[in-house]
Structure 1
Amino acid sequence: MNIEQFLFYAFAAMAILSALLLVNIRNTARALFLLFIVLFAMAGLYLFALADFVAITQILVYVGGVLILLIFAFMLSNKELLADLQSTSKRFISLPNWQSLLLSSAFLATMVYTFLNWSREMPDWIQRAQRQGTLIVSTDNNIETLGFKFMTQYVLPFEIISIFLMMALIGAAHLSRKEDKN
């Protein structure tokens, strides 16, 4: 098994397991953090589908924007929901700690395995790009190309994403608002 296959299966397993935990968990705060893992793993899978722009957009828009807004809205909305997080077991080894240890050690093992393999030999697709001269270098004008694509070919998806972000901001403001109890 080469590094590409290992990373693909690691991202796929992380996405599937986190999504299964996400739909079965009752704690909203933990569900939001599991959603972060699912979205991050999906961005990794988009890279394997050669959809670099979609992966970057996934991380910037969903993970970096919408999910952070949801977390802040959750933290500001209800103190009773946060009390559930603080009433967990005070022991070091409990079920949520085992899950986090397993996830963090799997992520560390993936990073170490990738570093060791790539330090010995570059993957085939990078070597092929070097031979063909198709590597993106710092002198390429990718920002200008992306700007033209955003305002011509991708104007509709760009506007849909902006409307989605506006709806998320309105939802976050609505959730964080204190309601009067009359």
Structure 2
Amino acid sequence: MSVTQILFYVMAFIVVGSALFVAATKNLVRSIFMFFITLFALAGLYVLALADFVAITQVVIYVGGILVLILFAFMLSGRETLNILQQQKSKLVNVGKLPALILAVLFFVVMIVVVTKIDAGNLNWVKQSIVTHNEIKPNDLVTDNIGINLMTRYLLPFEAISVLLMIALVGAAHLSRKEVKG
């Protein structure tokens, strides 16, 4: 077993374990911070898959943006709402959760069947990409090419999207603000 495989299994274990903790815990603060760990470990898996740009995007957008937005929503929410959410009794299996549990079990079974039955080295599109040398090597400059294109050819759409996201963030902060009656 190589170092890369060991790193993959460690990162995959961290992703699955922390995601299960996020779904199972009732403490919202711990859940948010474990979600942080889940997203970082997922970015590590992207690095191992030689998807540098996706890993950077994962860290910048999800860890840097979405997670901070979740933390702001948590901090701005009322204490009464948080207490009500944490006091709700929930069993692992009840009628309301049955469709979600069935769907999760079906997805898990499909995933196990695919992992055990597939032979990735003998897939036609994998063989064809190896023959035509259409593969990403560890020394390829994919992230550099994406960055150059974003800052030259696609600069206007990139900036328009960033302004739109900033407007959405300001709107969300305005909507979450409480009115002072007096």
8 Å CA contact 2:150–2:158 kept in 1: the answer is: no
How far residue 157 of structure 1 moved from its aligned partner, in angstroms, is: 7.9
> What is the percent sequence identity of the aligned residues?
40
Instruction: Please tell me the residue identity of whatever aligns with 2:73.
Output: A
How far residue 55 of structure 1 moved from its aligned partner, in angstroms, is: 0.3
Tell me the residue number matched to 2:5: 5
Instruction: Please tell me the residue identity of whatever aligns with 1:53.
Output: F
How far residue 170 of structure 1 moved from its aligned partner, in angstroms, is: 3.2
Q: Any residues of structure 2 matched to 1:32-47 within 5 Å, and which?
A: 32-47=32-47
Tell me the residue number matched to 2:75: 75
Q: Deviations 1:32-52 (Å, cap 9, x if unpaired)? A: 112111111111111122110
Distance 1:28 1:145, change over 3 A: closer
29-38 or 163-172, larger mean C-alpha shift:
163-172
Is 1:25 paired with 2:25? yes
How far residue 26 of structure 1 moved from its aligned partner, in angstroms, is: 1.9
Distance 1:164 1:145, change over 3 A: closer
Gaps of 5+ in 1: 86-133
Q: C-alpha root-mean-square deviation of aligned residues, in Å? A: 3.8
Gaps of 5+ in 2: 87-137
How far residue 161 of structure 1 moved from its aligned partner, in angstroms, is: 7.0
Distance 1:10 1:30, change over 3 A: same
Q: Deviations 1:131-159 (Å, cap 9, x if unpaired)? A: xxx858xxx9x768613245536986886
Task: Provide the C-alpha distance between the structure 2 equivalents of 1:63 and 1:15, rounded to a whole number of angstroms.
Answer: 14
Instruction: Please tell me the residue identity of whatever aligns with 1:17.
Output: G
Tell me the residue number matched to 1:170: 171
Matched residues, number: 128
Instruction: Please tell me the residue identity of whatever aligns with 1:66.
Output: I
How far residue 167 of structure 1 moved from its aligned partner, in angstroms, is: 3.4
Tell me which structure has the larger Cα radius of gyration: 2
Task: Provide the C-alpha distance between the structure 2 equivalents of 1:43 and 1:158, rounded to a whole number of angstroms.
Answer: 24
Distance 1:155 1:36, change over 3 A: farther
Instruction: Please tell me the residue identity of whatever aligns with 1:18.
Output: S
Task: Provide the C-alpha distance between the structure 1 equivalents of 2:21 and 2:67, rounded to a whole number of angstroms.
Answer: 17
Task: Provide the C-alpha distance between the structure 1 equivalents of 2:162 and 2:62, rounded to a whole number of angstroms.
Answer: 10
Task: Provide the C-alpha distance between the structure 2 equivalents of 1:15 and 1:41, rounded to a whole number of angstroms.
Answer: 6
